Structure 1
Amino acid sequence: MRGGTIAVLCLFLFGLTAPVLAVNEEKYGYITVQSVDINLVKDRAEIQINYTLDEPTRLLVLLLGKQDLKNRLLRVLNYEDAKVTYIEMDQARLQVDDVSYDYGRGIYWFPEHRFNVIIPSLTVRTPQLTREYSYTDNISNGIGYFDS
């Protein structure tokens, strides 16, 4: 009898801790990030983020509006001056001005950056090249490019 009680107690405790152990690093609250595409144009970044929302939350976002969703996406991307230009239930587009350093004569430097989640598929495009990253939370070392 005593062994059965201990076994049931252990199963109960495991049930409580299992969700904590299975942390999804691509997830920020009710948002699960799928991909981020950053297109660099002069000193501006045009960002598209694709994501899914937890099913119960979709209804709340529809009923209460998208302001909380916007705020969470801004925190995920970690750009202070980003402006949301388009937002839906599965993707958003943002613009960040002055994201790159302008060295004059069409030379730019996009500095390293850290996101607040792991991004499964990250693509950064400049006029010269495209860099693809998998399962990362940062763009290390930065990227130099020229305005064509």
Structure 2
Amino acid sequence: MKIIYVLSALLLLSLIVPAVSADEGSQYSYIGITNLSVELSDNEAVYDVHYNIDEGVQFLVLFLGKSDLKSKLSRVMNIKNGRFDIVDMDHAVITVDNSSVDNGDGSLWFPRKELMVNIPVISVKTPRTSTTYNDTKEIPGIGYFAEKV
């Protein structure tokens, strides 16, 4: 019976721990973001985010499920309608449909995206280009063509 009280207390603590501000680097609550890759194709963005979960919380995430982890990742990435294709203890893949504005001539515009934390390395790949940003908390607006040359 005591174990239930201890687990309940740990769960409550993990949920009420305030999120660390962006000034504290790449850490948000119990998640430390290490890198992010965004692949833009047609009107879809696929976010491949790598992170570390604080050791004290790993057991709770495994034991209680990944819904809080998904919620925090969505918040950090500033994604409202993403579909989680993969959620592991160190990596997640999130697909967002209709993430870009289609100009109707084969070109698209991915609007500027503000993130909750500074991310050490962000790679953005389109069908024709690839760009890397270092130690930033935003992805600038990017124009791209839907098809390869």
TMscore range, shorter length: 0.7 to 0.9
Aligned counterparts of 1:86 and 1:139: Cα–Cα separation in 2: 22
Give the structure 2 partner of residue 89 of structure 1: 89
Deviates more, 1:45-54 or 1:102-111: 102-111
Give the structure 1 partner of residue 145 of structure 2: 146
Deviation digits for residues 79-135 of structure 1 (CA, Å, limit 9, x no counterpart):
111111110000000001111000113110111110011111000000111110001
Matched, 1:36 2:61: no
Give the structure 2 partner of residue 11 of structure 1: none
Aligned counterparts of 1:113 and 1:66: Cα–Cα separation in 2: 25
SS at match of 1:93: strand
**Amino acid across the alignment from 2:68:** D
Give the structure 2 partner of residue 77 of structure 1: 77
Give the structure 2 partner of residue 137 of structure 1: 137
Aligned counterparts of 2:66 and 2:80: Cα–Cα separation in 1: 19
Percent same amino acid at aligned positions? Answer: 38
Q: Which runs of 5+ in 1 are unaligned?
A: 1-19
The alignment's TM-score, normalised by the length of structure 1, stands at 0.82
Give the structure 2 partner of residue 15 of structure 1: none
Q: Which runs of 5+ in 2 are unaligned?
A: 1-19
The alignment's TM-score, normalised by the length of structure 2, stands at 0.81
Aligned counterparts of 1:111 and 1:74: Cα–Cα separation in 2: 17
Give the structure 2 partner of residue 7 of structure 1: none
Give the structure 2 partner of residue 3 of structure 1: none
**Amino acid across the alignment from 1:65:** G
Aligned counterparts of 1:58 and 1:24: Cα–Cα separation in 2: 21
Number of matched pairs: 126
Matched, 1:101 2:82: no
Give the C-alpha shift of residue 27 in structure 1.
Answer: 0.4
Aligned counterparts of 1:46 and 1:104: Cα–Cα separation in 2: 21
Deviation digits for residues 28-75 of structure 1 (CA, Å, limit 9, x no counterpart):
000000000000011100110000000010001011011100000000
Matched, 1:116 2:116: yes
Report the structure number with the largest CA radius of gyration: 1
Aligned counterparts of 1:77 and 1:24: Cα–Cα separation in 2: 16
Give the C-alpha shift of residue 78 in structure 1.
Answer: 0.3
SS at match of 1:81: coil
